[in-house]
Each structure stands twice: as C-alpha cells, then as structure tokens.
Amino acid sequence: MKVATWNVNSIRTRLNIVTDWLQQRQVDVLCLQETKVQDHDFPRSPFEDLGYKVYISGQKSYNGVALFSLKPLDDVSCGFSPIVGEVGDLDVQKRVISGIANGVRIVNLYVPNGSAIASEKYEYKLAWLKMLKQYLQALQTQEPEICVCGDFNIALEDKDIYTNKARDKHIMSSPVEREALNQVLELGFQDAFRKFSDESEYSWWDYRSGGFARNRGWRIDHHYLTDKLYQQATKCWIDVEPRKLEKPSDHAPVVVEF
C-alpha cells in the first residue's frame, strides 16, 4: 500500500497540481492538509473522476484536512472528540481526520504551527499535542496498526533543518515542541523516513528569500508507524517535483510504501 501526505496550502489553488500528481503516482491513500475550504465547496468531482473516494473536514480560509482513497475507508472520523470525548476548543480547528484502509488506521494530522515561542498559539500547540497522545493511546486499544502522518510543524532532529542558527529559539524546533512530539512517539511510533535515509532532506521551503532554489528547507511532514508497519515499510521518500512547478504549495508530498 502506498500512502502520501501533502500540505497543499489550498486545494482549490493547487487543484490541477494535485490531480496531475495523483495520475502520475497513483497512491492508494492521499492525506491532505490546509485544504482551506468548507466542505460544501470542496472540489470533489475531479478526484472522484480519478477513482478516489473523498473524505473531508474543512473550514473557510484556514486549516482543513482530507483523505482520498482508491477503496472505501472504514470507520472515518473527524477530530479528537469521537475517540476521546470532550476536548474543549481543540476540535474547533479542523486538523484531524482518520479512517481504516486495508486494516491500517490512517491518521491524517495538521498540527498547529504555534506562531512564536511563549505565545498563546504556542501554548495551544502544546495542549493539542498532549491531546494527540491521548487520542492515539485510545486508538491503540482498537487498532493494532496505525500510520500517523501529516504536517507536524516540528523538525524533530537538527538535520531536519537547513541551518543550525537559533534552532532552540525558533518555532517548530524548540526543545519543548520536540519533547512534546517525542512524548507522542513513545507510544510506539517510528519515523518511516529515517528507516531509509539519514540525509538532510526537506519537505517544506519558505516562499520568501528563494527558499526552495537555495534548498533552505525543513523536514516537518512525517509518517510515523507502529512497529509492525515500520518493519513492513519498503520505501519512504519526499517527492520534490511538485515544488518545482509554477504556483506550488510550499510543501512537497511525502510517500510511504508498506
């Protein structure tokens, strides 16, 4: 099975790029983040015409996640609350969608950015990651095999960033954020990309200052797998080709095969 994650930074803006990519790569499941569209306005038909079942959880102008699958998904749910109950304001932003494909629970996430260290948005991000741990713990009692993927807005290792300048003081690489994500991974999840590469490769490049042309990137889009899936993984790679196109997303898709 081939599963891809991609922050598309507006599905309507990137519609042709995504449909062209799907025709080339023919992944079984595509997990999208930052779709930035309400459900009733989501452009479903171009993907349905390619044979994909479409599952969405979106909102106007911000956030939004979606799953495309060549086969119908089982037990699709949106947000934390269907699994863990009341979560306060942590489901107001549409950032979580999951479903079961071929016996594997696919969890698609758009982790909050956090804006700036010590800001309210930073505290929200940390609270969100704490809830993510509870959510995945609950899922593990139901589903033995889980693939957690998406835009995590965290570069977990120093080699996931193009520069070593002020890493500890930068959003997406602060020690507190990294520790919060490591607490989640301690549930038994492993980084699929690092099974196949120890190199500094990136999945996001800032639009500003020629970030992509200068390869000033960050690896913040991840696939984390439970042990059996991790052992079964045969490939995980970052497809930089869509980032070279005109008016691309600032993220590249990341694909895992198992």
DSSP state of 158: G
H-state helical runs in the chain: 15-25, 45-48, 81-84, 120-140, 175-185, 192-196, 227-232
Q: How many Cα atoms sit within 13 Å of 86 on the Cβ side?
A: 1
* 52, 55, 91, 110: the active-site residue: 110
CA-based nearest residue to 103, from 66, 136, 48, 142: 142
Q: How far apart are CA 136 and CA 146, in angstroms?
A: 9
CA-based nearest residue to 202, from 156, 134, 256: 156
Q: How far apart are CA 133 and CA 180, in angstroms?
A: 9
Q: How far apart are CA 68 and CA 30, in angstroms?
A: 5
DSSP state of 168: G
* 91, 122, 151, 224: the active-site residue: 151
The question of whether 227 is a catalytic residue gets the answer no
The question of whether 230 is a catalytic residue gets the answer no
Sign, Cα dihedral of 220, 225, 227, 230: negative
Q: How far apart are CA 193 and CA 257, in angstroms?
A: 11
CA-based nearest residue to 241, from 13, 15, 20: 20
Active-site residue set: 110, 151
